Amino acid sequence: MSQKNDKRGPDYNQLEEGTRQSKPILRQQGREIQPYGKIARLPIALDEKVCAASADNLNQLLADTMTLRDMYKKHHWQVAGHTFYQIHLLFDKHHNEQDELVDTIAERIQTLGAISLAMAADVAETTLIPRPPRGREELPVQLSRLLEAHEIILKEARTFARDASEAGDDGTNDLLVSQVIRTNELQVWFLAEHLVDVPVVHADKAKGASAGH
């Protein structure tokens, strides 16, 4: 190989010499600066024990919200049937709204001085929402699974909101009531109406007449 084509030659080394300070330092390793489950107390006028309790509750809610969010995307991809287009769009809208909740919940946990769950393996170990099968399911089953997941989240969100209120953690209580509960309740309404068995084009006159008597 000629010296001209040898990247390790004097000319190349001379060029490289001027870039050493700008090179990224790769493959770094070190200790955690804050272990999971520990509180780095911030001056937010809340007791450390209150912050820890709220963070534990919120991490459970975060795991379940991330699972629900991902279920929406799964069903968004796999939905089938004559209402495909409308449901495809609805599932994606709900996914995006749940994704916003994920970010809000995680940031609240960090604001409390705690560490939020983040990785899929940790979420899978923590969530209370049953895991759906990998394959495609019929739309009524998809809707039922989502409604069950919403109910799990709403039950724990109401409990956690009461806990936060009693502990004086108004910020967490406000997040749970004004964002988590209200968003999930609205999404439940939109989903549940798709499971009402009503005529699509012609009214059922026989049932209507009997109801009139």
Q: Lowest-pLDDT range, 25-34, 136-145, 157-166, 198-207?
A: 198-207
The predicted pLDDT at position 201 comes to 85
Query: Does residue 205 surpass a pLDDT of 90?
Result: no
Q: How far apart are CA 132 and CA 151, in angstroms?
A: 16
| Percentage of residues in the chain having pLDDT higher than 70 | 88
* Phi/psi-derived region of residue 64, left when phi > 0, alpha when psi is between -120 and 50, beta in every other case: alpha
Residue 50 near residue 113, CB atoms below 8 Å: no
pLDDT band at 84 (very low <50, low <70, confident <90, very high): very high
The predicted pLDDT at position 200 comes to 79
Query: Does residue 197 surpass a pLDDT of 70?
Result: yes
Query: Does residue 208 surpass a pLDDT of 60?
Result: no
Average pLDDT estimate for 180-191: 98
**Distance between alpha carbon 185 and the CA centroid of its chain, in Å?**
16
What domains appear along the chain, each with residue ranges and CATH number?
57-196 (1.20.1260.10)
Average pLDDT estimate for 140-145: 97
In degrees and rounded to multiples of 5, residue 37 shows phi and psi of 90, -5
The predicted pLDDT at position 112 comes to 98
Q: Could you report the per-residue pLDDT of 95-106, keeping only the tens digit for each?
A: 999 999 999 999
Q: Could you report the per-residue pLDDT of 20-77, keeping only the tens digit for each?
A: 778 898 999 999 999 999 999 999 999 999 999 999 999 999 999 999 999 999 999 9
